[in-house]
């Protein structure tokens, strides 16, 4: 909104020219989302307590988690609203990149909200039926894939995507396969972040790291000079995603103020599905889907740990008559808790791994 109105006032004062600059608006978006989350946090927590939307804790999990039962959940609304408001204020609202990522954030957040509401307000233990949740994720991914093929929002062929570490290499998909690939990335990323959201501050911290990383890539890819120098696709207008990324990173850090151990509120599926879906759509729009595997490697490891645990248990039950486990408990963060690591140690060490993954992603800019 600021971009559309305030630069026109530059005749009154030169300071209004700042709203033309992407870096200034990105910083403004990040700070605005952070402040909104910090300011609205106490009222949101009181509202959730009034609704009695308390967290349900798995009895088979680490015993230290039993004391978390009843802590307000659905706090992801704080991240979604802070990000959406900040993006609407600072971004170019006629930009397809911004519109699509905002839609992803709100769509996935709505799915997560319905799941949380059914579980903690309606007392339906399973929440939204799994197939309906997956249908909502896949339908958005399929619709996005079709849209990107039908509406060229950049000069790069719609079915192309970049391959990290190899300059000039592209992965070119058959159109129907590309649509399926987009749907897989969206559903996979949203569910991976959802599985990671099991410890105080874990998903919020890793999400902030991932979005800041993709924000830098968006800025580089959206500039004709830096994209040419680094051998990246040049996607005009993609730089506006840096504003969205900064807003979501700021919103996640503002939420982390209240979600840090011991957490006063949990994000629930409302926040985790929204973060994962928005992260996936950013990667898709930047033609950096494979880079998402590097930036979000911790999310990937969490999801793989669950699939491996379930798969191995079913296999051994079928072949041996009794199911066996690969891990003490899945997802992966609970395995380390069962091994005796304190919750805060697991979270900080996973954050460190997330930062290392971000640095590895940045190394792809030169190792090509």
Q: What pLDDT is attached to residue 23?
A: 95
| Closest to 252 in 3D by CA, of 289, 195, 209, 192 | 209
Integer angstrom CA distances of residue 114 from 74, 104, 128: 10, 15, 7
In a domain, 70, yes or no: yes
In a domain, 266, yes or no: yes
- pTM of the prediction? 0.94
In a domain, 265, yes or no: yes
Q: How far apart are CA 365 and CA 368, in angstroms?
A: 7
Number of domains in the chain: 1
In a domain, 33, yes or no: yes
Q: What pLDDT is attached to residue 8?
A: 74
Q: What pLDDT is attached to residue 167?
A: 81
| 273 Cα distance to chain centroid | 7
In a domain, 49, yes or no: yes
The residue range of the domain holding 216 is 23-157+173-286
Sequence-distant (≥ 6) Cβ neighbours of residue 61 within 8 angstroms: 329, 334
Q: What pLDDT is attached to residue 185?
A: 97
In a domain, 355, yes or no: no
| 358 Cα distance to chain centroid | 14
202 contacts 350 by C-beta, under 8 angstroms: yes
In a domain, 6, yes or no: no
Residue whose tokens read 């952070």? 34
Neighbouring-strand partners of residue 72: 54
Q: Please give the average pLDDT of every successive group of 10 residues along the chain, which has 368 residues.
A: 78 83 96 98 91 65 64 92 97 96 97 87 66 92 96 92 90 96 97 94 97 97 94 95 98 96 93 97 97 97 96 92 90 94 96 98 90
In a domain, 240, yes or no: yes
């Amino acid at each position: 909104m600021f971009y559309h109105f305030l630069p026109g006032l530059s005749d009154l004062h030169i300071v209004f020219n700042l709203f033309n600059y992407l870096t200034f608006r990105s910083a403004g978006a990040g700070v605005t989302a952070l402040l909104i989350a910090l300011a609205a946090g106490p009222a949101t927590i009181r509202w959730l307590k009034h609704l009695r939307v308390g967290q349900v804790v798995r009895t088979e999990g680490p015993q230290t988690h039993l004391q978390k039962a009843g802590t307000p959940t659905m706090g992801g609304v704080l991240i979604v609203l802070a990000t959406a408001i900040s993006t609407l204020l600072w971004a170019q609202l006629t930009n397809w990149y911004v519109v699509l990522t905002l839609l992803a954030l709100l769509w996935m957040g709505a799915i997560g909200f319905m799941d949380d509401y059914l579980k903690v307000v309606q007392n339906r233990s399973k929440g939204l039926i799994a197939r309906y949740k997956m249908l909502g994720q896949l339908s958005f991914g399929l619709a996005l894939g079709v849209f990107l093929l039908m509406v060229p929002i950049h000069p790069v062929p719609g079915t192309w995507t970049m391959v990290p570490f190899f300059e000039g290499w592209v992965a070119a998909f058959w159109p129907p396969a590309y649509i399926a690939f987009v749907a897989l990335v969206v559903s996979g990323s949203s569910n991976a972040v959802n599985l990671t959201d099991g410890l105080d501050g874990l998903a919020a911290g890793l999400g902030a790291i991932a979005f800041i990383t993709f924000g830098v890539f968006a800025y580089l890819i959206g500039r004709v000079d830096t994209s040419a120098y680094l051998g990246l696709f040049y996607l005009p207008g993609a730089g506006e995603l840096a504003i969205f990324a900064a807003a979501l990173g700021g919103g996640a850090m503002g939420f982390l103020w209240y979600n840090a151990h011991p957490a006063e509120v949990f994000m629930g599926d409302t926040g985790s599905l929204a973060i994962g879906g928005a992260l996936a759509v950013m990667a898709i729009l930047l033609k950096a889907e494979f880079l998402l595997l590097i930036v979000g490697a911790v999310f990937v490891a969490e999801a793989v740990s669950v699939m491996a645990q379930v798969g191995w248990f079913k296999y051994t039950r079928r072949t041996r008559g009794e199911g066996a486990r690969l891990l003490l408990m899945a997802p992966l963060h609970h395995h380390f808790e069962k091994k005796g690591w304190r919750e805060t140690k697991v979270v900080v060490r996973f954050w460190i791994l997330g930062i290392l993954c971000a640095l590895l992603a940045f190394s792809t800019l030169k190792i090509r």
